[in-house]
């Protein structure tokens, strides 16, 4: 929890009369609030203009002028943007001269002030924001799912959190923001006029969108209510040092030739369609969906390892998995049906042992039937038994001359991954427990039996799927960061048989596996009970 | 049990010294045996030649002359053939004049005599009978499986019982018979020189075989040991009154366009291949295979409703079923996975409730995994989700003007079905419990919840699949005999909820369903608990 959030919580607590909980930090912040209010309403003595002139006395901005709402935005985000105006990485004829006249402390104070102002709760009411029917549906689809197969375009909500409520300093809330402002910014990312995005993510997104889609998304988020706070996660403040990528990376070759699953619009009606829909919902919200959550012992959902809800080529898509089961698996030395394979995901990647139910869902449970129906439907038209479909699994990354290295990986992680997953790697959940960015290690991550714990598997996943949408990591970086990720502790392998050495020999005898290894030379081996 | 069998058993019992069990019938039969021996060795006073001249003193026949072994053949079969020689429906320059000089009693005596002579137990030893390698494999495949997709050719063993040991009066043992004789007979069926087959079955078979295949099969069965008696079944003596069909009926249109599953020769190696093989074995021997038998409460195996081990188009082939699950089913008002669908076959068609385990196999049991792997493999290349593959299910039979009628059906049954299934409809099992011809009703047949109990489903199955290989029933006959079959009592519907009327309303409210109906107007309704 950062200061701003602490402050937000402090305010709530004050309202409730629980003064005893007020911390010194919150008291300092409240003192800053006075300075912030003053700067907002009057500017400062060195010539910085008052904010209220454009952003309004309540901080709600002005749609007509394209001036954004500031009220309720994340303080750290506002700080980072004022710094960007000041240092020129965000260029704006009005804001640049104002920011240039603000001292560091003033920036923090005014940002803190606006963060505490209540955002309009019912969204902007500009006429353009009233979407209906097909337009609304298109906007929803784009905001939720993006367009992975064609453009590797993430849904806005994948980073800006469900319903565009925002996540910490890096992903501002866009719900209830003025459409005119949202549109102008997307255009600015697109043209390169704005370029202070991290990892080039917004440039990639904006250049992927058509003008019509920009209008649609701007209107959609403008009408979206605010107020679903992202407060329960581990919002480590991160500074990503890597500059934005020059060009969005081209999709991998596989993408081009890959199978096309039916579109979401083609979802059938009737009870079968309902089951497919349930499967999609469970797939994306596995750890919070009421039906599947009792079998999930961590913060993982299926979609974390299978992007675009299991549709994306090179991201272990479900359509390719469906047609290649039943199959023999070395993992458990037997032929597994697809259902048993799904149950394995719960056992390992979702650590079902630590769940309420303590075990994966039964073969005839709604969860398994729904995930099975969903997978089957995604595979519509795919040839049964074809276990070499282009885009299947995570394509292997060739070994590099330098091998893989945890220390090099730490740097790659800080530059590319911490932005979303946090410097502590523990990911972000919203107030409802929905995982916005999954944890990569620790007790809430996949366990030592999950395929992803293998460095080669993780390198393959990362190379083809990370950072979200933009990609572009070198093979070497993918190997190194995979090693770094998997050099952390995580829940025990459910196959642990009481004998550490024997478990290693049975299941972890691989050069790509840190289970049983003392990577840090700390005297303690990873996975040691 | 007929007289001959009773006699066979009597002899065994005598050997064991258990004279107390000897029946009057057996004593009569033993008296006949003296007459039989005399006829065999000396002929009779009206000019019938002695049998031993051609068939040898021990009844083993003579390969060089093409004279068949008679020793150990079924007495009723021998009787029927002697009658055929005598009345000209089987034409033979040597046998016809001899049979013409035998009285009815003499025919029975000499047949009984030969039936009791021990057959050679290790098969004929003519040079041609030593098949090896690929030839042996081809012969085995043809004998076991026939060639359904191309020729609707049943495997010889499907009627002549596993390993060609023979079934009752209608299907003589062919194991250990001389290759020269077997070949000559197949040629005779083919040319029409021999035409006393029932329903034209042998004509259909023989005309479907190439000369090379005839040589192969003759050699194969000649080398097959005899001695696996078919003694445990319900070998009702039947007289089929319908003449042989003129021409083998053409395969249905669907057959031509249907999907081709991989051939048995393409079975993969390794643990997956082993599982597919296990699936095929379970599919064909469900009620006797040690893995699946504990879950089968009757004499049914999967292959009884899905001919050619689930491969045949228009016979609910597995390849079409595989690609159309998961699916919503009205039967249980929910979306069923393929596994649940398989379990349903155990619950209904194989009446698992009456089995040792008392319930279907678990989703992760070897039985279900094997059947799943087998189905999946058969569907290799089939498009996922295509629930309209040509050859899927049993194609509907159009309703006829006359509707369906149990009494007309009884006649159709006697003419076409009793030959294999017995006049009592209870089918035939061999000494090991292997079902040679499945029961159609009674406690050992599918229950009142199985799809086959619906008259329209049964009509569709029968129209496209019965009589085995030859087909040719009219739509009207198919409807009528389906009604007749399903007008008999069978095990209770597992969905019976304690309230007969409510169970009828919930599950049997159909014009094609006799559950709850007093068809015979006997005062007792079918399915009534």
Phi-psi region of A304 (alpha: psi -120 to 50; beta: other; left: phi over 0): alpha
Written as six digits, the tokens of B280 are: 């095929």
Residue A228 banded pLDDT, cuts 50, 70, 90: low
- Residues whose CB falls within 8 Å of the CB of residue A67, separated by 6 or more in sequence, listed in order: A54, A55, A56, A61, A178, A181
- The yes-or-no verdict on residue B428 having pLDDT over 80 is yes
Please tell me the predicted confidence (pLDDT) of residue A266.
93
Write the pLDDT tens digit of every residue in A487-503: 999 999 999 999 999 99
CB A129 within 8 A of CB A223: yes
The fraction of chain A above a pLDDT of 90, given in percent, is 76
- The yes-or-no verdict on residue A239 having pLDDT over 60 is no
Residue B254 banded pLDDT, cuts 50, 70, 90: very low
Residue B33 banded pLDDT, cuts 50, 70, 90: confident
Contact B384 A376 (CB under 8 A): yes
Please tell me the predicted confidence (pLDDT) of residue B197.
87
Residues of B with CB under 8 A from a CB of A: 270-272, 275, 319, 322-323, 325-328, 334-337, 339-340, 362-364, 368-370, 372-373, 376-377, 379-386
Lowest mean pLDDT among A35-39, A237-241, B107-111, B311-315: A237-241
Contact B271 A384 (CB under 8 A): no
- The yes-or-no verdict on residue B330 having pLDDT over 60 is yes
- The yes-or-no verdict on residue B187 having pLDDT over 80 is yes
For chain B, the average pLDDT equals 88
Please tell me the predicted confidence (pLDDT) of residue B30.
58
Q: Please tell me the number of Cα atoms within 13 Å of B18 on its side-chain side.
A: 8
Residues of A with CB under 8 A from a CB of B: 270-272, 275, 319, 322-323, 325-328, 334-337, 339-340, 362-364, 368-370, 372-373, 376-377, 379-386
Interface test with B, best of A327, A337, A362 (most B CBs within 10 A): A337
> pTM for this structure?
0.86
Please tell me the predicted confidence (pLDDT) of residue A334.
95
Determine the Cα–Cα distance for residues B529 and B527; give it in Å rounded to an integer: 6
Please give the average per-residue pLDDT across B350-357, as a whole number.
98
Please tell me the predicted confidence (pLDDT) of residue B153.
95
Determine the Cα–Cα distance for residues A106 and A84; give it in Å rounded to an integer: 15
Contact A337 B363 (CB under 8 A): yes
Residue B475 banded pLDDT, cuts 50, 70, 90: very high
Write the pLDDT tens digit of every residue in B485-512: 999 999 999 999 999 999 999 999 999 9
Please tell me the predicted confidence (pLDDT) of residue B417.
96
Q: Phi and psi dihedrals of A121, rounded to 5?
A: -90, -15
Higher pLDDT, A89 or B30: A89
Three-state DSSP class for A196? coil
- The yes-or-no verdict on residue B16 having pLDDT over 50 is no
Please tell me the predicted confidence (pLDDT) of residue B25.
52
Write the pLDDT tens digit of every residue in A11-30: 444 444 434 444 455 556 55
Higher pLDDT, A409 or A231: A409
Please tell me the predicted confidence (pLDDT) of residue A97.
93
Please give the average per-residue pLDDT across B53-69, as a whole number.
93
- Cβ burial of A126 (10 Å; 0-12, 13-18, 19+) is middle
Of A45, A169, A41, A37, residue with least CA distance to A109: A37
Please tell me the predicted confidence (pLDDT) of residue A26.
54
Please tell me the predicted confidence (pLDDT) of residue B32.
75
Please give the average per-residue pLDDT across B303-320, as a whole number.
96
Write the pLDDT tens digit of every residue in B134-167: 999 999 999 999 999 889 999 999 999 988 999 8
Please tell me the predicted confidence (pLDDT) of residue B120.
72
ipTM: 0.83
Please tell me the predicted confidence (pLDDT) of residue B237.
44
């Amino acid at each position: 929890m950062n200061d701003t959030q602490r402050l937000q919580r402090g305010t709530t607590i004050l309202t409730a009369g629980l003064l005893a909980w007020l911390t010194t930090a919150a008291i300092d912040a409240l003192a800053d609030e006075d300075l912030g209010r003053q700067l907002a309403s009057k500017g400062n003595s060195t010539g910085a203009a008052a904010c209220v002139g454009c952003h309004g006395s309540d901080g709600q901005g002005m749609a007509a002028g394209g001036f954004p709402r500031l009220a309720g935005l994340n303080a750290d985000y506002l700080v980072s943007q004022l710094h960007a105006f000041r240092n020129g990485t965000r260029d704006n004829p009005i804001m640049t001269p104002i920011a240039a006249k603000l001292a560091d402390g003033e920036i923090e104070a005014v940002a803190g002030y606006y963060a505490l102002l209540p955002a309009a709760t019912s969204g902007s009411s500009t006429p353009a924001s009233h979407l209906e029917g097909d337009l609304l549906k298109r906007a929803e689809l784009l905001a939720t799912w993006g367009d992975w197969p064609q453009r590797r375009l993430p849904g806005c909500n994948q980073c800006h959190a469900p319903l565009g409520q925002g996540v910490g300093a890096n992903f501002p809330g866009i719900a209830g923001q003025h459409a005119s402002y949202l549109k102008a910014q997307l255009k600015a990312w697109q043209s390169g006029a704005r370029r202070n995005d991290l990892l080039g993510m917004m440039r990639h997104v904006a250049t992927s969108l058509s003008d019509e889609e920009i209008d649609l998304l701007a209107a959609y988020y403008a009408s979206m209510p605010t107020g679903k706070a992202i407060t329960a996660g581990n919002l480590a403040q991160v500074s990503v040092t890597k500059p934005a990528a020059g060009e969005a990376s081209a999709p991998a070759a596989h993408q081009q030739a890959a199978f096309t699953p039916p579109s979401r619009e083609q979802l059938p009606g009737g009870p079968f369609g309902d089951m497919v829909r349930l499967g999609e919902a469970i797939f994306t919200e596995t750890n919070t969906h009421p039906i599947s959550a009792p079998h999930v012992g961590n913060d993982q959902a299926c979609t974390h390892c299978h992007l675009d809800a299991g549709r994306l080529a090179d991201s272990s898509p479900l359509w390719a998995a469906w047609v290649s089961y039943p199959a023999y698996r070395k993992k458990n030395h037997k032929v597994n049906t697809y259902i048993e394979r799904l149950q394995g995901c719960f056992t390992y990647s979702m650590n079902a042992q630590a769940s309420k139910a303590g075990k994966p869902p039964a073969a005839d449970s709604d969860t398994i039937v729904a995930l099975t129906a969903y997978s089957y439907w995604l595979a519509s038209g795919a040839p049964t038994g074809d276990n070499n479909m282009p885009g299947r699994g995570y394509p292997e990354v060739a070994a590099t001359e330098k091998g893989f290295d945890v220390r090099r990986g730490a740097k790659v992680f800080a530059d590319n991954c911490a932005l979303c997953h946090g410097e502590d790697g523990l990911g972000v959940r919203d107030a409802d427990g929905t995982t916005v960015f999954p944890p990569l290690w620790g007790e809430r991550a996949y366990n030592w039996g999950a395929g992803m714990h293998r460095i080669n598997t993780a390198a393959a996943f990362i190379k083809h799927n990370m950072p979200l949408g933009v990609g572009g990591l070198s093979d070497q970086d993918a190997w190194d960061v995979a090693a770094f990720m998997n050099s952390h502790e995580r829940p025990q392998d459910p196959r642990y048989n009481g004998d550490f050495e024997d478990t290693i020999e049975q299941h972890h005898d691989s050069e790509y596996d840190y289970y049983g290894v003392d990577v840090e030379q700390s005297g303690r081996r990873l996975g040691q009970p």
